[in-house]
Structure 1
Amino acid sequence: MTSLHSTQGTAYPAHEPVVAVVVAAGSGVRLGEGGPKALRDVGGRALVAHALDSLAGGGVSRAVIVSRAELAAAFADALADAPIPWTLTEGGAERQDSVANGLAEAERVAPDSRYVLVHDAARPFVPASVVAAVIAALRSGASAVIPAIRVIDTIRVADPHPGEATVVDRSRLRAVQTPQGFDLATLVRAHDHVRSKGLAVTDDAMACEAIGEHVTLVEGSRDSLKITEPFDLLVAEAVWRRRTDALEGTVW
Structure 2
Amino acid sequence: MPDQSSAAGAPKFWVVVPAAGIGTRMGADKPKQYLSLLGQTVLEHTLQRLLSLAGIEGLVVAIHPFDDLWPALPLAQDPRIESVDGGHERCDSVLNGLRQLAPRAHKLDWVLVHDAARPCVRAETIHTLCEALREHLVGGILGVPVSDTLKRLDEHYGIQATLDRRALWYAQTPQMFRYGLLRQALEEAAANKRAVTDEASALEALGYCPRMVEGSRDNIKITRPEDLALAAMILSRQQGEALQPGEENGR
TM-score, shorter chain, exceeding 0.5: yes
Secondary structure, in 3 states, of the residue corresponding to 1:27?
coil
- C-alpha contact (below 8 Å) 1:145/1:180 kept by paired residues: yes
Match of 1:65 among 61, 64, 69: 61
Aligned to 2:14: 19
Secondary structure, in 3 states, of the residue corresponding to 1:223?
coil
Aligned to 2:111: 116
Aligned to 1:94: 89
Query: Matched residues in 2 for 1:152 and 1:198: separation?
Result: 34
Aligned to 1:175: 170
The answer as to 2:242 corresponding to 1:208 is: no
- C-alpha contact (below 8 Å) 1:144/1:208 kept by paired residues: no
C-alpha displacement at 1:58, in angstroms?
4.0
C-alpha displacement at 1:42, in angstroms?
1.1
Query: Matched residues in 2 for 1:43 and 1:92: separation?
Result: 29
Cα RMSD (Å): 2.4
Query: Matched residues in 2 for 1:238 and 1:204: separation?
Result: 29
Aligned to 1:136: 131
Please list the CA deviations of residues 84-112 of structure 1 after superposition, one character each: whole Å capped at 9, or x if unmatched: 7111111111121111111101224x436
Aligned residue pairs total 238
Query: Matched residues in 1 for 2:27 and 2:193: separation?
Result: 33
The answer as to 2:120 corresponding to 1:125 is: yes
Secondary structure, in 3 states, of the residue corresponding to 1:87?
strand
Aligned to 1:164: 159
- C-alpha contact (below 8 Å) 2:2/2:130 kept by paired residues: no
Partner amino acid, structure 2, of 1:64 = V
Secondary structure, in 3 states, of the residue corresponding to 2:213?
strand
Secondary structure, in 3 states, of the residue corresponding to 1:201?
coil
- C-alpha contact (below 8 Å) 1:28/1:228 kept by paired residues: yes
Aligned to 1:152: 147
Partner amino acid, structure 2, of 1:66 = A
Query: Matched residues in 1 for 2:229 and 2:18: separation?
Result: 22
Secondary structure, in 3 states, of the residue corresponding to 1:70?
coil
Change (3 A) 1:37 1:145: same
Query: Could you list the runs of 5+ residues in structure 2 that have no partner in the other structure?
Result: 6-10
The answer as to 2:73 corresponding to 1:77 is: yes
C-alpha displacement at 1:162, in angstroms?
5.4
Query: Matched residues in 1 for 2:157 and 2:171: separation?
Result: 29
Question: Which 10-residue stretch deviates more, 71-80 or 212-221?
Answer: 71-80
TM-score (norm 2): 0.85
Change (3 A) 1:124 1:85: same
TM-score (norm 1): 0.85
Secondary structure, in 3 states, of the residue corresponding to 2:67?
helix
Partner amino acid, structure 2, of 1:14 = Q
